[in-house]
Amino acid sequence: MIRFEQVSKEYTNGTYAVNSLDFEIRKGEFFVLIGPSGSGKTTTLKMINRLISLTRGTVWIHDKKISDYDINELRWNIGYVLQEIGLFPHMSIAENIAVVPELLHWDKQRIANRVDELLTLVGLDPGSYRNRKPSELSGGQQQRIGVVRALAGDPEILLMDEPFSALDPFSREKLQDDLLNIQRKIKKTIVFVTHDMREALKLGDRICVMKEGEIVQISTPNELLTNPVNDFVREFVGSGRNLTIKLEDLIIPISQWAETQSDENAISISADLDEVLEELMNTDSLPVKHNGEVIGIVNRQHVLKYLADYVRKGGREHE
């Protein structure tokens, strides 16, 4: 759907920000660009909505060159979320979200419905949030509005440049979870820049590893973990490796959980593995809940065995 063909960006001082990029992002895909600082991620992203011009090559969206699009048509069809939220401080949350729909001349009722729909989508009650000012929201809530605002005009493509990196780890995890849930519902084509491998492995359908303006590897998270093309990727991936163990993999199904036992100390299926391990230091087993229902247990013995196997296999997928 978005295709880069031999794309380079050379600055007048001779620096190549990116060099001969050749790849395609599929419709509905969550595509992550990752690499060290200066590797060309932001340049790649900004070329898609023409914030940065190309020196050579072509970027295609739906088999039409981006240079052939009317610039407004192009940008309205592409939502953009940055690290600095950039909400307008004097406008209400609803007005902030409505900026693009207003530009598109939607009628008032349609805009109001869209605002409420989007607030609901990110778990903010429209009745209590739509008239607040940005300063009355936490950092995490404001960034949620940033995401929603980018989606307001129902663009096909969403570009996100390190959108969560200014947040504390807790809010960050929460927004990542939210974004995954939203993406399951709306299936946009998302291009997401990060330098955090844990984030990339968690979110990406495919991950594109960049180095010095070039693509080193494009793979699914699993392929990247199990078949890194070189030492650079292997080391880079190593930083996020522990995320490949998911709580889901450790659950023993419900049939073995005595129904009479209390589920008071249950943990959520989305809980962080570190938290779970800490809990398991105090107790032998814990019930795991998904959507309010106990779906199974985690048991210390079983978890330790799993981890031992995992380490023995050098951090590769559990087979």
From the CB of 38, what's the least distance to ligand ADP, in Å?
Answer: 4
Q: Which residue has the tokens 């929460």?
A: 174
- Give the interface with ligand ADP as residue ranges (CB under 6 A): 11, 13, 15, 17, 35, 37-43
Cβ neighbours of residue 146 closer than 8 Å, sequence gap 6 or more: 81, 82, 85, 86, 87, 163
Classify burial at 301, counting beta carbons within 10 Å of its beta carbon; exposed 0-12, middle 13-18, buried 19 or more: exposed
Q: Which is nearer to ligand ADP, 11 or 170 (CB)?
A: 11
From the CB of 45, what's the least distance to ligand ADP, in Å?
Answer: 8
Structure tokens at 48: 């898609």
Rounded Cα–Cα distance for residues 157 and 160 (Å): 10
From the CB of 20, what's the least distance to ligand ADP, in Å?
Answer: 14
From the CB of 233, what's the least distance to ligand ADP, in Å?
Answer: 16
Helix (H, G, I), strand (E, B) or coil at 3: strand
Structure tokens at 247: 């709580």
Q: How many CB atoms lie within 10 A of CB 204?
A: 22
Q: Which is nearer to ligand ADP, 15 or 165 (CB)?
A: 15
DSSP string, 205-240: SEEEEEETTEEEEEE-HHHHHH--SSHHHHHHHHTT
Rounded Cα–Cα distance for residues 106 and 115 (Å): 12
From the CB of 308, what's the least distance to ligand ADP, in Å?
Answer: 38
Cβ neighbours of residue 69 closer than 8 Å, sequence gap 6 or more: 61
Q: Which is nearer to ligand ADP, 47 or 288 (CB)?
A: 47
From the CB of 163, what's the least distance to ligand ADP, in Å?
Answer: 14
From the CB of 11, what's the least distance to ligand ADP, in Å?
Answer: 4
Query: Contact 133/89 with Cβ under 8 angstroms?
Result: yes
Q: Which is nearer to ligand ADP, 39 or 49 (CB)?
A: 39
Rounded Cα–Cα distance for residues 174 and 180 (Å): 10
Q: Which is nearer to ligand ADP, 7 or 266 (CB)?
A: 7
